[in-house]
Structure 1
Amino acid sequence: MDLLRMVMVGASGTPYDHGPFFFDLQLPPSYPDAPPQVYYHSYGLRLNPNLYESGTVCLSLLNTFGGEGTEVWSSTTSSLLQVVVSIQGLVLNDQPYYNEAGYETLADKPEGHRNALPYNENAYLLTPRTMQHLLRRPPRGFEEFIKEHFRRQGKLLLRTCNVWLQGNVVDDAHATEATRKQPCSNGLRLALTNVMPNLVAAFTEIGAKGCEEFQ
């Protein structure tokens, strides 16, 4: 087997909360001397500095970004599991703004705080848009998985959107005290006002329970 397709669900407390994200992996003939080639199903959306519209995944472990030591692929110690964990933990994290090259130096600085929030809001907004694309064009072999995921999680996703619409940050059990106190911008509320009815309709169509309260 040299072709794999994987899906991971965004962790709570991140802009990618409850969203499924798809990646295709190809093991080249030189594997494991060379890392797998990874393609992200972006649907033309750039919701993370490491995930390009073209599908490129920018990560030192994949030799698509600079790195040294344990950051880069090793034929003797690296594994596919390491790739998956790195994407989940290092890419789809709670502060994707600092994934931009050079921006990590702004962590805990006023400029970083000013820029990180709108970046998070944009990433959060692009997550439901990705969900809409997934419902319309699910990756082959995962059609039922997508429907079942949103049947179970649709109400929670809409509830999260509704909290943002009320002008607050998401009250998530995994959020920090600082992030709970951050305000939601008028721009995000306006954008979600346009997105949410489409999500409600899409989730209702596949039989997700509890969506009627958001209509």
Structure 2
Amino acid sequence: MDLLRAVIVGAEGTPYHDGLFFFDVCFPCGYPNVPPNVYYHSGGLRLNPNLYNCGKVCLSLLNTWSGNKNEKWLPGVSTMLQVLVSIQGLILNTKPYFNEPGYTNTNGSAAGEKRSEEYNENTFILSLKTMVYSMRRPPKHFEDLVLGHFYNRARDILVACKAYMDGAQVGCLVKGGVQDVDEGDKSCSQRFKTSVADHVPMIVAEFTRIGVKDCERFVSPATSGNNQIASMPQAATSMISC
């Protein structure tokens, strides 16, 4: 086998929760002595410092980013499973803003945490767009998986959107409920609340199209006439690079 397609489900507690993220893998003739080539199905969106809108996956294990000897591909030791687990755990994490090396040293500072929260808000909006993109154009041979996943997760996604419109922080949803992810009484920005409300009609329309029932109740009268996915400011999609 020299070609592989994999899908990773965004984990709870992250801005990627309930999303589907597709990767195509090509095993070159030198594999496993050299790392595989991995391409991310971005849909033209940049929702992580390590995942480019052109499909590049920036990861030391793939030798596409600098790192010490033990972080790079090790013949006879490194595996494809390790690559997928690294993408899931190290890239699609709770605070992707700090994946950017230039911002790592601000982790824990007031300014850094604020920028991280803003980045998570932008990322969730891009994740919603990715959901719509995946439902409209599911990767070949994964059509049933995509539609089945979003059919089963639609309620959780809409409950999250409702919670965010009510002020909850991104990533605080677990099993359809809300829990605090930071100490203190923190809430998301008004800009984010408005952006989520603007995007809900579109994702509700897609859920309805694939057969999900009674999801229209999540659309408020103020947003029901907005059926277009609003464009994020350019700064939001090009904030960081690796």
Interval containing the TM-score (normalised by the shorter chain): over 0.9
Aligned residues of 1:204 and 1:211 also touching (Cα < 8 A): yes
Q: How many residues align?
A: 215
User: How many Å separate the matches in 2 of 1:62 and 1:176?
Assistant: 35
Return the TM-score normalized by structure 1: 0.95
Relative to its length, the structure with more helix (as a share) is 1
Aligned residues of 1:25 and 1:37 also touching (Cα < 8 A): yes
Tell me the residue number matched to 2:198: 194
User: How many Å separate the matches in 1 of 2:183 and 2:137?
Assistant: 33
Matches within 5 A, 1:42-121: 42-121=42-121
Aligned residues of 1:22 and 1:40 also touching (Cα < 8 A): yes
CA deviations on 1:128-180 (whole Å, 9 max, x unpaired) are 10001111111111111111001100111011011101122254349654178
For structure 1, which runs of at least 5 residues remain unmatched after alignment? none
1:136–1:28 CA distance, 2 compared to 1 (3 A): same
1:27–1:129 CA distance, 2 compared to 1 (3 A): same
Question: Does the residue aligned with 2:33 lie in a helix, a strand or coil?
Answer: coil
Same amino acid, percent of matched pairs: 47
Question: Does the residue aligned with 1:25 lie in a helix, a strand or coil?
Answer: strand
User: How many Å separate the matches in 2 of 1:69 and 1:182?
Assistant: 40
CA deviations on 1:78-137 (whole Å, 9 max, x unpaired) are 000000000000000000000012211111112211211101111111101000111111
Tell me the residue number matched to 2:210: 206
User: How many Å separate the matches in 2 of 1:116 and 1:177?
Assistant: 13
1:179–1:18 CA distance, 2 compared to 1 (3 A): farther
Return the TM-score normalized by structure 2: 0.85
User: How many Å separate the matches in 2 of 1:214 and 1:90?
Assistant: 33
Q: Which amino acid aligns with 2:4?
A: L
Question: Does the residue aligned with 1:153 lie in a helix, a strand or coil?
Answer: helix
User: How many Å separate the matches in 2 of 1:41 and 1:207?
Assistant: 25
User: How many Å separate the matches in 2 of 1:45 and 1:140?
Assistant: 20
Ranked by relative contact order (alpha carbons within 8 Å, sequence separation 6 or more), the top structure is: 2
